[in-house]
Structure 1
Amino acid sequence: MEEKTSFSSHVKFGKRKLLVQTEYDPAHQIVGVTVADSGQVIDSREYLVDSSAEQDPKDPQVRQCHDLVLADLELLYSTIKNVQATPDADAHARLGTLLLDKGLIEEAVDIFAALLSLDAEYENGHYLLGKALFKKGDYDGALSHLEIAVEKTPDYPDVLLWISRVHRQRGDFSRAIQRARTSLEINPDYHEALYDLGLYLIESVQSDPKNTELPPPIERVKEARACLLQAAKSSDAYDREGLDAALDLLENRDQWEAAIAEIKKASRVKAVDTRSLVLDGEFYLRFMFADLHKEHRSLDNYIRILEKSISQHPNYPDVRLSLGTAFLIRCWHYYGKALEEYREAVKINPNFQKAKKNLKLLENDGRGFLLLLRAILK
């Protein structure tokens, strides 16, 4: 059996020191990269290595995966600084969402708080900050902002579901279940609400079986089964076999803790369309606020991710939209390279008329392309 080879680097990210570790598994041609803060993994990625040739662990293609994440973090930190220096509320919202996705919770909270300082009425501003505070573990703060959000958008099932999660963390299963049910009244096919409601009902029987505000335990278990199976039927974000195994364990009261653990493991919610929106935000931020020369490798990686997603989900329009945007940004990269070469040609030979003509055309017409790309990204 071949041994895995690891690479590790420390990266300064503001006041933090993050540890980036890369593990190469030549048997499966997979590179796994994790980012940890104080021993806790906050982000992880997997890359497939070209299987057409044998890869040495120090091969540039493999090492590049490690370096790519290092470059991403460096670029992300510079983007944070640039966004903080602008009054652009949309950029704050996109950046906070990106930071949340990457597990940088403290930074996301700061950015969303700054967003509301810029625009107290920003659509979804309180919802975004409430989610970030929830992930930080500040449940009182999260509930305060989420309640404001639900007043503004009472028919938004996501807000109600996050409120239910706050109540569950505080041990108030009656309110958690009520909010999850309300979310499903708005959208009966909301698979995350179906899954959460099923989990809450099981947990409530385990921790609070005599709660008179809820149905008898046997009825809760029956409803939970229906919810969990419907969630698995509605989305491939859940391991159906894992859920079936968990439901079988419920037959034995002594196995309930194991059953709950299996239910939690069965959720692998990382929806492709949600990831697509995160990528769109990242494209926007990097194009508007980052150094384009530093991000070429990152863009190539995102294109590979999106192309793989399309091969698995060819009918997801959001993913195709993101891929089209990525190709446009790649065009902008090549435009910049072409501009540099024309300028260098004129610098070498100021009398080179064709180069001067092409340079002038590129400089003039390029402004229109820039405006087009900015309009699409916004």
Structure 2
Amino acid sequence: MKGIGLRDKISVDSREFQVHTGNDPLKNIVKSEVFEKGKFLFSAEDPYSVRENKETEIDEEYLKDITFEQHQNTLDEIKILFLVNEKIKQIRQHLPHFRLGKVFLNRNFIDEAINNLKRVVELKPDFVRGHIKLGLAYFKQTKYMDAIKAFLQAHKIEPEYPDILNNLGVTYAKTNNFAAASKFLKKALEIKPNFKEANFNLGIVLFLSSIADDEDESKVIIPARFIRSFKEILKMSSFQSKYWHERFILTQQALEEGKKKNVVAALEKIQSEIMFQEDSSDIMDYFFLQFMFGGSELKHTKLDFFEELITAEVERNNTYADYWNELGIIHLVQCREYFTKAIAEFEKSTKIDPDFETAQKNTELLRHNKQGFLILLRAILK
């Protein structure tokens, strides 16, 4: 059967976004893509299980339903993010701005990301992750000197943090300051000798610096040192997805071709992409923002949806403390939903039988403790 496609335009403030959603029956995926003025911003993709009807044909209604759901979720996500952006502008807590800045950055809403991340470091100047994310946002905007300033501020707070040193090395390389780039990358490797990404980046920097003044645009010889570091990157578990395989194939093709201009472009591109590789998703950040500032109560089905996503993340990253913490939070939120339902059910019981003392007692107990539960939940989420 043919794939199912949906298209919509959504206006937020004075901006217009185009959302295209479709399913691929050969790959069993449904995917939404978001554009602004023809420029790709981000995509959301989910696999689905093939469901067949009685005639053993693919259930077309089922495919229509899941495609529409994905499409609507993407439209809602854009609306919610910009709604939250307005709601929290005057909030003097750094964490909501950090979460929103992170989500905006991952979706290439760069100006909004920078505005929120600048707010983060204003409210909490010693919050190192705020400076790092701000540096990454400036990097995406190709404002490399601003990115360096942000990373240096993070380095001032955490001078022994190898990821910051790695980011500085990559960013200095973008300004052709290969000496500074090499210095920071070597420092990162002193602190963390098995830091394969930094070793890979150092290999790129040393190679680029060696050909920087070479006007010969013919084939270049790729150093053995770089080849070794590239092979190490290819073996890493964090780069085993289809996405990374495709990226590395393009890089390898450029290296094999050997044309200087293409080799330099391919290495700079893969270097930047690796720097933006997230070691944690923003599912919980988006959930937090929608739950706290989204403007409407999250339905039970939506909570179940977030729980499934976060549980899947935990299964993939079960040694990461952050994921277990996030799963605990969403289970606590689900408890609140059951808590509220329980009050309504006890009240229903007392209406049916006003003399039912057990239901009366249970209703009063939950009513007295409801506010305390909400205070606890909001304290944890802040």
TM-score bin (small chain):
0.7 to 0.9
What one-letter code is carried by the residue in structure 1 that aligns with 2:161?
Y
Residue number in structure 2 paired with 1:221: 223
Tell me, in whole angstroms, the C-alpha distance in 1 between the residues paired with 2:237 and 2:348.
54
Q: Which moved more, 1:125-134 or 1:260-269?
A: 260-269
The match for 2:329 among 318, 325, 340 is: 325
Match of 1:165 among 162, 170, 174: 170
SS in 2 for 1:41: strand
Work out whether residues 280 and 377 of structure 1, in 8 Å CA contact, stay in contact via their aligned partners in 2. no
- The equivalent of 1:231 in structure 2 is 233
Q: Distance in 1 between matches of 2:138 and 2:247?
A: 30
Q: State the SS of the aligned residue for 1:59.
A: helix
Match of 2:378 among 355, 366, 374: 374
Which residue number corresponds to residue 50 of structure 2? 51
| Among 73, 77, 85, the residue aligned to 1:68 | 73
User: Which residue, out of 294, 297, 317, partners 1:293?
Assistant: 297
Alpha-carbon offset, residue 248 of structure 1: 8.1
User: Are the aligned partners of 2:21 and 2:67 in contact in 1 as well (CA < 8 Å)?
Assistant: no
Measure how far apart 1:229 and its partner are: 2.0
Tell me how far 1:132 sits from its aligned partner: 1.6
Alignment CA distance shift 1:135-1:247 (3 Å)? closer
What is the identity, as a one-letter code, of the residue corresponding to 2:167? W
Alpha-carbon displacement from aligned partner over 1:187-208 (angstroms, at most 9, x marks no partner): 2233432333334344445544
Q: Check the 8 A contact 2:291/2:298 in 1, yes or no.
A: no
- Superposed displacement of residue 296, structure 1: 5.1
Structure 2 residue runs of 5 or longer lacking an equivalent are 53-57
SS at match of 2:41: strand
In the alignment, residue 188 of structure 2 is paired with which amino acid? S
Contact 2:81 2:100 in 1 (8 A): no
Question: 1:78 — aligned with what?
Answer: 83
Q: What secondary structure does 1:3 align onto?
A: coil
Query: 1:143-186 deviations in whole A, cap 9, x for unaligned?
Result: 22222221222111222222222222223333223322222222
Q: Among 184, 201, 212, which residue is 1:196 paired with?
A: 201
Instruction: Pick closer, same or farther for the CA change 1:101–1:368 going to 2, 3 Å.
Output: same
- Rounded to whole Å, the distance in 1 between the matches of 2:296 and 2:268 is 43
- Spell out, residue by residue over 1:205-260, the C-alpha distance to the aligned partner (whole angstroms, 9 max, x if none): 554459xxxxxx97x82221222222233433155797589568646644872696
Q: Specify the alignment match of 2:369 in structure 1.
A: 365
Instruction: Choose from 174, 181, 192 the match for 1:187.
Output: 192
CA distance in 2: counterparts of 1:135 and 1:34, whole angstroms: 19
Unaligned ranges ≥5, structure 1: 211-216
Deviates more, 1:193-202 or 1:137-146: 193-202
**Residue 204 and residue 14 in structure 1: after superposition, are their counterparts in 2 closer, same or farther (change >3 A)?**
farther
For 1:71 and 1:368, locate their aligned partners in 2 and report how far apart those are by CA, in whole Å. Answer: 31
Residue matched to 2:100: 95
Offset at residue 44 of structure 1 (A): 1.1
Task: Report percent identity of matched pairs.
Answer: 25
